[in-house]
Each structure stands twice: as structure tokens, then as C-alpha cells.
Chains A and B, each alone.
Chain A
Amino acid sequence: MSEKVVSEESGTTTSVVIGAKSRADATPAFGTPDVLKGRRVLGMVPGKPLAGDRKDPAEDDMVMVFPHLLVRHAVAAMSILLAVLVIAIFFDAPLRAIANPTVTPNPEKAPWYFAALQELLAHFHPLIAGVLIPGAIIMGLVALPYIDRSLFILTSHRKVAVATFTTFMVVWIALTIVGFAFRGPNWGWVWPWQEWHGEL
């Protein structure tokens, strides 16, 4: 197979040798591309027709970031910004009474993203719930790509990794919801539609 360099400038697929001055110079002998005197060939890539010339463009075709990706990112950016600006109109950030070291609120609630840890703290020794479990989760996440070294990327080809991750994620979300919305005074069970103790 002859090596080709794709030139996009002409809008069509051409085989040229780097450093060639004209199309005539560039016609390569089969399998052995010419190199003009005084020029170095820096690299060769296998020939591949341009996306526009192909009958059915594939998903792995390369497209220009400007404008295709940029316009989508701009829409995503403005949408989330609009969402925040609208939420901030209708919902005020909470401000309770001034901090008082002598009055402990009941329940004492950590921020929602630590609610799962706080829920674990109610069941296990603080060394386990507050130090070992969060430490193990972070180390496990860091180590994940070095443990799961199979090169398959489709979820159907890596069932063990997907099942493990999904299990942890579901348990974590459940603990967060319980700690955030289902816990009341003395960390006792409450139904959120009867008593609301969640704090944002």
C-alpha cells in the first residue's frame, strides 16, 4: 500500500510528497515516494479520504472545534449560568441565628455532600466511618484505572468494573439521601414529608 499525505487545501484527496512543489512532482512511484533533493520527509500517514468525500460519514470523523464544539459549549455554559441566575431569584441562601457554642442544634447536620459520611458515623466507630471509609474511597478512585486495566471501553465488555462502581454509587446516593432528608432529632428516623430537617 502506498503511503499518502492528505492535503485538505484543494478540498479533495490527493497524494503528495512533503516538500513537493507541484502535483506533477508529487506523483509517487508505487510504494516508494520521491523525496526532493534538499527536503526531509518528516512523517507519513496512511491515506484516508476526507469526510466530505465519503459516502457515509463515520462517528469518528474529525470536525473543527471552531465552530462545532464551541457553539455547543457556549450553549451549555449559558444554560447553566441562566439556571443559577434564575434559582438565585427564587431561593434565598439560608442564614440561621448567629453561631453560639453553648447551644447545640438538634440534629447537627453536616453539608449534604457529607451526609453519607455522617450517616455512616451513626453506625460505625468514627475511626471507620470518618477516616478509613473516606480514605479507602478516595484511594480506590485514584487506583481505579490501574486496577481495571482491560482495554475494553464498552460497558457490556467490563461488567465487573461497572457492577462494582454502580453498587458503590447507589449505596452512597442512598446514604446521602437518608442522612440529608430522613434524619431528625438525635439522628432518629423521620419522614421528610412530616418533618423536614435538610439544610443546604
Chain B
Amino acid sequence: MDVRNTADTDLIDRVRETRVGRSIWRTPRRVTPRDRAAAHWSSFLLHIYPVKVRKEELSFQYSWYLGVISTVLFASLAASGVWLMFFFVPSPGQAYTNIQTLQTEVPFGQYLRNVHRWSAHLMVLAVAMHMAKVFYRGAYKAPREFNWVIGVILLVMTLLLSFTGYLLPWDQLAYWAVTVGTEMAAYVPFAGEKVQSILMGGNTVGQATLIRFYVLHVAVLPIFLTIGITFHLWRWRKDSMLDLDRGEPNV
């Protein structure tokens, strides 16, 4: 069957049929399930998804969509975070006044700071709940053990991202929360003081600490988290082709 020039063809189908359209999508005809699978398979935007999933996986009750929710919150944090970077200088002399200016003079400054803050808290919650949901579903069982391990690493990175961001406003809340946190590092056996001074860049929370936390928060940790999420999703897609979660032993 040829869909060209039929009355019920959608506009998007007609665009795909053009010479340029075919060069972009490469699989212009969407007639059979096999065509649609081929189109999915060759789509860059959809390449993070498998072509098919078990019907059971569609339901809210299966996953509570916590993985999607965590990812969306991370995207919201990246977007609002990049915007906040335009107004922020990581120095004890300027950081606090930058936040005050942001809240009082920058259009939507307070609002986007709120979005960043609440997305961060919700992301910690969503990632922790995602882990619990995966545990109760038994989805960490062979052969998916290592994706669970990647997930634990992602949880730790989420906590570190949240904690490094906590210092940046340079107010009393930030300063003392980070003081409490870094003092704990001093009790690491044998290398405690070394670990603490590496974290803080000195004996007290100061300029060196702020720049360290800032660079970790806006560059190092987001990059590693992105790589980790990519790996996590890649393994999820590969494993989606396995026949799992039947309520019987996975053999």
C-alpha cells in the first residue's frame, strides 16, 4: 500500500514524503508495525527508548514514573541552574549580595531561584523513592544487578550535587550546614584531616571552599551525573528486551 496522496494522510506524512523529509527521517512510509518500528529505531530523539515494552510496564503502579520524574527534575535544575549562573559570582564578598540582587532586581530572579531550590529537594526525594520502588519490584535481580549499582552511584551523586549547591547562597543556613557536613569528614580513619582540608581548601569554610563547591556543583558533578544517567538508561533499554518480572524466577 502506498500512502502518498491519499486523503487521510497527515501533514507530517506529506512532509516526510518530500525529498528533504526523506533525507531527515529516512523511513517515510508508516504503514505496518514493522515500518513504525524501523522509524523508531532510526530516530535520534527516540534512541534512548526500546521499540517495544511489556504492556505491564505502561501502568502507573509499575514504576510510579519515578525515573522519568527524576530525569525531568534534573533537566529543570540544569535549565534554571545555567540561568542562575549569569547572576552569581562565587566569592564570599559577592555571593550573598548577588542572591539579594537576584531576588529583588532581576526579573523572575526569585521565581527561578525557587524553581531551582524545590526541584533540587524533589529530585533527592524522587531518586530515593525510585530506588525503593525498584527494590520492591525486584528489578535489581540478575541480570540487572549492575544497573542497580549504577543507580546507587547516581543517588550518591544527587546528594553531593544538592549538598554542594547548599553552600552557594553564602547565608547562615548554608555556611553552618556545610560546616557540620565537612566536620564529619575529619573523622575518616587515618586520613580525616587530609580529606577535610581537600574538601574545604583550608581549615575553615571560606573562599577556597566556595570555589571548590561551586566548580563541583556547576561542572564536575553535573557532567558525571549526565554520563551516569546515560549509562543507566542504555542498560535499561538493552535489558527491556529480556523477559522479566513475571512473578516467577528469572531463569
Binding site for B on A (CB under 8 A): 8-9, 11, 57-66, 68-70, 72-73, 76-77, 80-81, 83-85, 87-89, 91-101, 103-105, 108-114, 117-118, 121, 125-127, 130-131, 138, 141-142, 144-146, 148-155, 158, 162, 165, 169, 199-200
Q: Is the CB of B52 within 8 A of A113?
A: no
Q: Interface-forming stretch among B12-20, B108-116, B215-223?
A: B108-116
Across chains A and B, the number of contacting residue pairs, with CB separation under 8 Å, is 228
Question: Smallest distance from the beta carbon of B221 to chain A beta carbons, Å?
Answer: 15
The residue on B at minimum CB distance from A107 is: B176
Q: Is the CB of A149 within 8 A of B37?
A: no
Interface 1/0 per residue, B155-171 and A, CB below 8 Å? 11001001100100111
Q: Chain A residues near B37 (CB, 8 Å)?
A: 64
Q: Chain B residues near A85 (CB, 8 Å)?
A: 115
Question: Smallest distance from the beta carbon of A48 to chain B beta carbons, Å?
Answer: 11
Q: Is the CB of A101 within 8 A of B175?
A: yes
> Contacts A64-B37, A72-B65, A88-B115; is A101 near B172 (CB within 8 Å)?
no
Q: Is the CB of B177 within 8 A of A60?
A: no
Q: Chain B residues near A64 (CB, 8 Å)?
A: 33, 36-37, 40, 51-52
Q: Is the CB of B180 within 8 A of A108?
A: yes
Q: Which 5 A-B pairs have the closest CB atoms?
A: A153-B138, A130-B184, A145-B145, A99-B175, A88-B114
Q: Is the CB of B180 within 8 A of A152?
A: no
Of A104, A125, A153, which contacts B245 at CB under 8 A? A153
Q: Is the CB of A65 within 8 A of B152?
A: no
Q: Does B68 contact A (CB under 8 A)?
A: yes
* Residue in B57, B172, B243 with the greatest tally of chain A CB atoms within 10 Å: B172
> Contacts A118-B180, A145-B148, A151-B250; is A8 near B136 (CB within 8 Å)?
no
Q: Is the CB of B149 within 8 A of A105?
A: no
Q: Chain A residues near B176 (CB, 8 Å)?
A: 104-105, 108-109
Q: Does B121 contact A (CB under 8 A)?
A: yes
Question: In whole angstroms, how far apart are the Cα atoms of A36 and B142 in the complex?
Answer: 39
Question: In whole angstroms, how far apart are the Cα atoms of A76 and B185 in the complex?
Answer: 38
The residue on A at minimum CB distance from B37 is: A64
Binding site for A on B (CB under 8 A): 32-34, 36-37, 40, 46, 49-58, 60, 65, 68-69, 72-73, 76, 92, 96, 99-100, 103, 110-119, 121-122, 124, 126, 128, 131-132, 135-142, 144-145, 148-149, 152, 155-156, 159, 162-163, 166, 169-177, 179-181, 183-189, 204-205, 243-251
Q: Is the CB of B172 within 8 A of A96?
A: yes
Q: Is the CB of B96 within 8 A of A63?
A: no
Question: In whole angstroms, how far apart are the Cα atoms of A110 and B173 in the complex?
Answer: 8
Q: Is the CB of A98 within 8 A of B121?
A: no
> Contacts A81-B76, A113-B159; is A126 near B187 (CB within 8 Å)?
yes
Q: Is the CB of B96 within 8 A of A98?
A: yes
Q: Chain A residues near B145 (CB, 8 Å)?
A: 145-146
Q: Is the CB of A99 within 8 A of B174?
A: yes
Q: List 14 A-B contacts (CB under 8 A).
A: A58-B55, A63-B58, A76-B65, A77-B68, A84-B76, A84-B119, A89-B111, A94-B173, A99-B96, A118-B180, A126-B183, A145-B144, A146-B145, A153-B137
Q: Is the CB of A98 within 8 A of B171?
A: yes
Q: Chain A residues near B33 (CB, 8 Å)?
A: 8-9, 64
Q: Is the CB of B100 within 8 A of A95?
A: yes
Of B72, B96, B243, which contacts A80 at CB under 8 A? B72
> Contacts A63-B55, A95-B171, A105-B176; is A153 near B141 (CB within 8 Å)?
yes
Q: Is the CB of B251 within 8 A of A60?
A: no
Q: Is the CB of A60 within 8 A of B56?
A: yes
Q: Chain A residues near B69 (CB, 8 Å)?
A: 76-77, 80
The residue on B at minimum CB distance from A68 is: B58
Q: Chain A residues near B139 (CB, 8 Å)?
A: 153
Of A65, A104, A118, which contacts B50 at CB under 8 A? A65
Question: In whole angstroms, how far apart are the Cα atoms of A130 and B196 in the complex?
Answer: 13
Q: Chain A residues near B175 (CB, 8 Å)?
A: 99-101
Of A59, A76, A109, A112, which contacts B55 at CB under 8 A? A59
Question: In whole angstroms, how far apart are the Cα atoms of A200 and B183 in the complex?
Answer: 20
Q: Is the CB of B249 within 8 A of A84?
A: no
**A-B contact sample (6 more), CB < 8 A, given A153-B138, A153-B244:** A60-B54, A84-B118, A88-B115, A109-B177, A153-B139, A165-B135
